[in-house]
Amino acid sequence: MGTPPVGAVMLPVMLDLRDRACLVVGGGEVGVRKAEGLLEAGALVTVVAPSPAAAVEALAACGRLRLERRPYRAGEAAGYRLVFTATDSAETNRRVAADAEAAGIWANVADEPELCTFHVPARVRRGALQIAIASNGEAPFAVRRLRQLLDRRLAGDWAAWIAAAARFRPRVRALAAPAQREALFDRFFAATVDPDSLTARVPAPEEEAAWLANAAAVKAPVPTDPPRRPGFVSLVGAGPGDPGLLTVRARRRLMTADAVVFDRLAEPVLPPDLPARVELHSVGKEAGHHPVPQGEINALLVRLGLEGKRVVRLKGGDPYVFGRGGEEAEDLRAAGVPFEVVPGVTAGIAAPACAGIPVTSRDEAVRVTLVTAHESTRVDGSFVHWDQLAHDPHATIVAYMAVSSLKQVSANLLAGGMDPEFPAAMIERGTTSAQRVVRAPIRELPAAAEAAGIQPPALLVVGPTVHHAESLAAFTRRPLFGERLALAAPAGDVRDALEEAGAEVVEAPLPLTPAARIVLRALPLTGCLLRSPADAVAFADERPAWGDRVVAWCLDAETADSARALGWGRVVEASADAGWGALVAAMGRGDEGHRDR
């Protein structure tokens, strides 16, 4: 039992734990993570803990695991296939490990490698593809950083690629000659994997057919996959950027999806607790940069739908408001793939609201016009009648994608006769913690926005109600506006306190899911609330990607010491003994001098 002798290498294995009884002793945050990992693997989980965490209680309440609210009983580890122990009692941990060893049961003891008979490796997962990284338990800090490196480098459509490989294999195995099988496998790999960039693509059906048809050893017809019923594609509006504005139906579709195809602007609203089994396809669209052409996105949606998958196409704002959702819907219809549209809150309404600008107001603005600013630069004639808009003093104009075209839009409106002093504003990343607003008369706004460094995504608002921003910008006046904070799930009532104070909160499950990692990096973080040393360890992998400005807000001295030992540069010990209000006040003061040792 324990860490292997010098020179010995532990054997990596993949365990099938479906419907097998597994025990977790301890119901704290580490125990929660162990239980969630076992549940994801399909195990029958029992948790033994006198005072379990709320997350364990919740899992038991919905029937996902069995909870025994009591101390560990001597010898009971023998009744299980696999045992984890993560209690605060060293004596209990040793007792569990000894019982497991006596019964021939594999056991893992949190933070005590010498008592472990197995370790759980760090994993990089893309669908059914898993890459495990381990160090015999000797250098977990190095393993975490290597996993983080591979997670960033392993780009492309790997989840769909491994699924395609799984479909290709039985077709090749039907061939008579083993040598030809290996040649076909080599052909598949060489044609679909770029070893330099570590990217993969899914071969087209005609490519696979050609490889199989050209195989010299084919003696009999190659079996074809049975026809599949098409899946279902949901074109879902992600809203303007605030995760709280994602609709109930949108979240429901995401949590039950097999695959999610998302734009860059939709990254902040991906549910961090999206199951790890869900394929994530980033198509990376953002202002002025479309790395995946729209035609390829349409083809991807059709392919995933024809594979019988439940697919969510997650688009910023609303799918049918300058989102090209109609084009995607038309291609799905033509291919016979069932689909639906789940409307989202469009930025043209929500962003002005969070900037203190009502787009309509009785006796001031009685009409709203939504336009794309790119129309101002069309060489073949704009579909927007800028002169008519310029002469309507009781209308609000909202122009999407306005940064690169702002000078031309302003020039068009002024040329059309708009009052040069008419109120206008640029809103960058509206509704989020990164929101910035620049207000100026329409003739001065291009220079003011350029001086402020306004970047996409940003909206232009022109209208009589812009002046209300002076008095109605409540969104940006809350004490924690501008803070984007990460904390481990379940957050409990601290999340409510932070959000009411204006912070944007990313509640991330531990261990971090692929979706949680995307969300954490989607916008700059300003802080991370660490409630235990285990939190500091769990977020350690991601910390280097966040930069040095992120503050570790620690609720006790032990957690603060752990954060410093793990390399967190800005550590603040801020007690919540007096309630969450005291913590909010410390954050609002930027209280880094408070016990920042």
In order of 61, 349, 395, the CA distances from 345 in angstroms are 33, 8, 21
Helix or strand run (H / E) with residue 314: strand 310-315
CB neighbourhood size of 93 (10 A): 22
State the residue for tokens 């970047």.
Answer: 455
Furthest-apart CA atoms within the chain: distance in Å: 89
435 and 502 Cβ atoms separated by less than 8 Å? no
Kindly name the residue from 151, 263, 273, 535 that is annotated as catalytic. 263
105 and 82 Cβ atoms separated by less than 8 Å? yes
Q: What span, in angstroms and rounded, lies between the C-alpha atoms of 427 and 456? A: 9
Q: What span, in angstroms and rounded, lies between the C-alpha atoms of 420 and 400? A: 21
Which value, in Å, is the radius of gyration of the alpha carbons in the chain? 28
Q: What span, in angstroms and rounded, lies between the C-alpha atoms of 159 and 424? A: 46
Edge to edge, what strands does the sheet with 339-342 contain?
Answer: 279-282, 259-262, 310-315, 232-237, 339-342
Helix pair angle (178-192, 205-213), 10° resolution: 150
Q: What span, in angstroms and rounded, lies between the C-alpha atoms of 219 and 364? A: 79
Beta partners for residue 232, in sequence order: 310
For residue 215, give every residue at least 6 positions away whose Cβ sits within 8 Å of its Cβ, in sequence order, or none.
175, 180, 183, 184
Tell me whether residue 263 is one of the annotated catalytic residues.
yes
Query: Helix, strand, or coil here: 332?
Result: helix
The β-bridge relationship of strands 504-508 and 484-488 is parallel
* Chain mean position to CA 405: 31
Q: 7 is written with which tokens?
A: 């020179």
State the residue for tokens 């109609």.
Answer: 326
Q: What span, in angstroms and rounded, lies between the C-alpha atoms of 593 and 571? A: 10
Full DSSP string of 372-405 = EGGGGG-TT--SS-HHHHHT-TTEEEEEES-TTT
CB neighbourhood size of 194 (10 A): 11
Cα dihedral sign, 521-526-530-534 = positive
Kindly name the residue from 34, 273, 285, 541 that is annotated as catalytic. 285
Q: What span, in angstroms and rounded, lies between the C-alpha atoms of 253 and 87? A: 37
Tell me whether residue 309 is one of the annotated catalytic residues.
no
Full DSSP string of 421-479 = T-EEEEEESTTSTT-EEEEEETTTHHHHHHHHT--SSEEEEESGGGGGHHHH-GGGTST
- The backbone region for 590, taken as left when phi is positive above 0, alpha when psi lies in -120 to 50, beta otherwise, is left
Residue at 213: amino acid letter:
A
State the residue for tokens 């195809």.
Answer: 261
> What residues act catalytically?
263, 285
